[in-house]
Every structure is written in C-alpha cells, then in structure tokens.
Structure 1
C-alpha cells in the first residue's frame, strides 16, 4: 500500500497517565509516516491532552463512560453516530494501546482490515485479543507502559523510538496560569514546588498531614514556595493541607486539564503520587518526587531521569488493587516525610535551581 495514503487510528481512551505514556508511539508513527492521516479516539474529558498535538490530523472524542452509565436512546444514537464516523474514515490500521474489551469493540467498529493490539499476556482484559488480528510480542510484566505501546509499531516494521512527550496547549489556556501568577506575585519570588495530594483510587493516597509536614520542610530548608494543586473532588484535601501547614502556601485555582498544563509549567518541583498531575509534570520535564505503594514505578512511573520514586517494598507491594485486600494502607504509610524530603533534596541538588543564600543551600 502507498504509505502516502495510509490512514491510522490510535485507540487510547483514558486516563491522563495512560495517554501520556502513548505519546511516544504517536511521535514515532508520525516521524516514519509524515504524510499519513493519523487520528486518535479518546474519552471526551481527556481530549485537552492531545487536541493541539501537531502530529495528529484528527481527534475523535467519545463518551464511553457516559454510555455505560446511561443506556438510553441518546447514548445509542451517539454510539451509532460514532460507528458511522469510524467506518466512514476507512482506516487502514488501528492500534489498540489500551487492551480492554471496550477498546477492542472500537477497533472492530472501524472495519479496518488491520487491527493491532497487545500480546494476550500484556492485555488488561484478555478477551481484547479476539478483536485484533495483529499482535505485538510479549513484554515482561514489569516492562514500562511506554515500551509496551511502542512495541505495537513492530507490526509495521522496525523503527527508532521517538521518546518525546508533547503536551502543547492553546494561548488562552496558558493565560490562566499567567493571570494567577500575576495576582500572587509573592508565590513567584522563590522556586515553586507543587504538591498534589490526589490519586485515582484510595490506595494511592498519602496522608494529608504528611504532605503538610513535607511542604513545611521544603519551605524552611530548601527555600520553596508551595503551590497546592487539585482536581475534581480534591479541593478539601488541599484546604486541609494548607490549614495543617505552619508555613504559607498558595492554592491553585480550578482549571481544565489544558489550563493545568500551563500551571504545571511554572513549577520547579512536583510532589505527589501516581496521578494524572504527576504524569503531566514529568512529561513536561518538571523534576518530580512521587510516593508509591499499590502500583509499580518501574512499569507506570516517569520515563525520564529527573525523577525520584519513593516506596518501601513489602511482600504485598504493587498489588494494583483499588482497595487494600488486607484493609490497611501500610505500603503508603511506610513512606515517611523524611523519605520524601531526602529524595527531594537529592533531586534539588541535581536538577532544581534553589535560592543561593546559605540558609537554603543544598549539601
């Protein structure tokens, strides 16, 4: 087939971290097929992450989460419209980078003759392999998700991976952070450390009290200003951190995903757990310190050097459970404030410009 006419569809619906992990796949595909039509089907609520990406010709937002919770005429009509749109694009290849039953259905909906997916052993839902007719080779259980996504390119040939994480946003989305920084000029007088206490499920949460203690130490000993960031449903967490801190902190405004990217660009350091903001920050090149328990940083962590993963390995670590089967939060509780601070201090000495006064020097 003439590569100038090839049409590719990437299927990666959610969440923030998973979409970030798939960006090098897109960059590599575009680098090797500069004239192809490349589209990406994505959950509507996450399209901010890719809608300005220059490597894409088309973003196709869907509402699978809404459809599953609202089985009615409106949902059915949307599904039929999506099915018609996907078939009408006449894609030559689909690449299912999620490995779920629902993403397998989407691949089949396209009618594409070539549908690539993961090896059965790398699929989150094994039935996914039934929907695809090309599969990548098996990668070990602890292989990074970025590498798993890139492995699907093997169905097209051998390519040099382009491990770039592009998160461009519109000028108007940048403006939100500019206005906030202007209104809070004291915040910008020192390097800014962002603390985000949120996470996708309860077992990945570190305690509010420890985040507050860590924020104080970063302020007192390393000379940072502390910016508390939050997403939907997390505002109370940052309020509690701010109330528990002895030192002054600032709380970020409510933002869209695109606006949050603009805000995170202002940071000199990010502190958090395995969460969407963490993945955005390391992809932007922001030095990060993250706390881990139920998920494995070797598989899901930062795909960069200026990052410190902090965890205490237990027999039950990296269980991938949303709720602890043992009824505890021991894997997260074992990580102390000092553990996180030591990691931040090491990272600061390597990657972050801090205040040059003797009080804030790093030894």
Structure 2
C-alpha cells in the first residue's frame, strides 16, 4: 500500500534531458514507463531548443521548455542572453512538480533542474560522469554504467517514482503525421557529426544499387550543404535514388514512417528511425555501440554493426536486413 501511495502521488513530473538527439530519444521510453504506472501523469520536458521536436512528437508530453545552453555559453555577455535565461527560469519555475528527473546527469542539467520547484532525482556520485552534479539532487541512486543508456534512464525513473522496472523492450510512444508513401523505399542515413563516423560513399552506392535491383528506392536526407553534396554524389550512381528536400525534424519524421527500413551511421536520425518503429541497421566506425547504440523497440528490431576502428562491409548490412523478422520487404 505504501508503494502504491508513492506512485499515485507522483502526478506532475518534469524530465530534464537536454542533448543530444540520440540521447533525448533514448529518454522517451521513460515517458511510456511512467504512464503505464501513473496513467494520468502530467509530464513536461526541459530540452535544448534544437532538439525540442523530439519530445513534441510524443502525444503525452504536455509542455516542452527549451534552453539554448550552447548559444548562451558563446554569447554570455549579451543582454539578450540574460533575458532569455531569466525567461526560461520563470517558465520552468512557474509550477510545482512532484518529481524532477535529471536523466542527463551533467552539471549543466543539474543547474537548470534547480530552476524547477520540486524534489530532484538523479544519479549518485559513483554513477555519473560529472560527480559534482549529484550535489543538486535531494534523491540519488546508484545505477551502473555497464548497461545501455535506455536501461539506465528507465531504472532511474522506476527508482525515483517507486514502481518496478519493466522487463520488456522499450516503447518510445512517438507519433508523426504519416504522409502517403511515394513508392517502396529505404532510408540511407549517411550524415553524422564527425567525419570519423562516416561510412565510405562507395559502400553507400553499392548498398543503393543492391536494393535498386530489388525495386527499393534509396532516400537520402540531409541538413548541411556538405551533406547535401554527399547525398547528390551517391544518388548520381544509384538508379532512381532520391535526395530528399531539406525538411524540419517533424516533417522528416512523418516521411520516415513510409520507408521499409533504415540503414544509418552513428547519428540521431538512426535513433529516431528506431523510435518510429522502423527496422534499423546502424553502422559504427568510430564508437562502440554497447551502451549508446540504437535500441530497437518492442515493434521493430535494431541491429548495431561495427565498432571503433571497424568499417562494416555491404554484405554485412544486407545479411542483417535479410535476417530481420517481420517481412520488411512485404510491407504495404
């Protein structure tokens, strides 16, 4: 009865997870876990403005507060910066929360979590990358690093709110306005934040040609001009390949759901594809995916290939896709 009373009392909850895209997506299953145990919970989110579209895609996230920490640090002397900080603090502090969950676990996230009114929950000093952050929390939890980030955050929320950790695969709960399918296609998520994470263009071309022979169009999204140039170079060598327009994150999400599957490098869009229940093969060349790799949900699988200093072959990708359950080549 005492445990039930604790869960029932947690009606208004603030999640603090600011960056980056993949990390914000990894936190989404926490929303689903909370709603499973507190169906009428009011859940708000505090996030970096450039990633605010991610929690906004979840229909049960009520209010999304935004910060611009990266820009503020570079322009700290400007009056406008201090006005924006003051406005953000007022907005976040305008209501009382039953629980504030700092899923980021950094000094910067701990500081902005203090803007909110309510008990703060976070990792203890031994479970956090920046131990100083733990001093900001009234409630601290020991949660091992030796597990995937999705599981770590789900554990933190369960311990903070007093429910048993679900033992199922994560559910992301995203909804996107679905656009009509153009034709059978797959997503080629070729762009990433560092050149060391890229997969060679020649292998993207070979992959696109492989699936073009099976009637699948290759869709190539992009953001910056250098990414567009790479997409155009690949598309020139792949029959019927399509370089997508420059869409917002929400626009792209609505079109991603029409693809059969996604192949992507270590990029936030690979995580977004998984959160939208697309089968995903993620390619790692400069990082290890064990703790932060793409985490498939309960509806679609995700396979992480490669690792630091590895460059997976095209055949590894096609073999992994062919082995995926669910008949991804038979979707309507």
TM-score of the pair, normalised by structure 2? 0.87
Match of 1:84 in 2: 90
SS at match of 2:153: helix
Structure 1 segment 1-363 matched on structure 2, within 5 A: 3=8, 6-71=11-76, 72-112=78-118, 114-141=119-146, 143-153=147-157, 154-161=159-166, 163-169=170-176, 171=177, 174=178, 177-178=179-180, 185=182, 188=183, 191-220=184-213, 222-233=214-225, 234-243=227-236, 245-304=237-296, 306-311=301-306, 317=308, 331-332=309-310, 334-347=311-324, 351-354=327-330
TM-aligned CA distance change 1:158 to 1:5, over 3 Å:
closer
TM-aligned CA distance change 1:281 to 1:95, over 3 Å:
same
TM-aligned CA distance change 1:223 to 1:308, over 3 Å:
farther
Shift of 1:350: 5.3
SS at match of 1:297: coil
Q: RMSD in angstroms over aligned alpha carbons? A: 2.3
Q: Which has the higher helix share?
A: 1
Answer whether contact 2:282 2:294 (CA < 8 A) is retained.
no
TM-aligned CA distance change 1:128 to 1:5, over 3 Å:
closer
SS at match of 2:94: helix
Shift of 1:5: 7.2
SS at match of 1:135: strand
Measure, in 2, the Cα distance between the counterparts of 1:105 and 1:122: 18
Measure, in 2, the Cα distance between the counterparts of 1:256 and 1:242: 21
Answer whether contact 2:14 2:43 (CA < 8 A) is retained.
yes
Measure, in 2, the Cα distance between the counterparts of 1:16 and 1:237: 22
TM-aligned CA distance change 1:258 to 1:76, over 3 Å:
same
Shift of 1:103: 0.3
Shift of 1:144: 1.0
SS at match of 1:299: coil
Gaps of 5+ in 2: none
TM-aligned CA distance change 1:97 to 1:219, over 3 Å:
same
Measure, in 2, the Cα distance between the counterparts of 1:266 and 1:103: 35
- For residues 162-187 of structure 1, the C-alpha deviation after alignment (integer angstroms, 9 at most, x for no partner) is 73112223x5xx4xx44xx5xxx5xx
SS at match of 1:128: helix
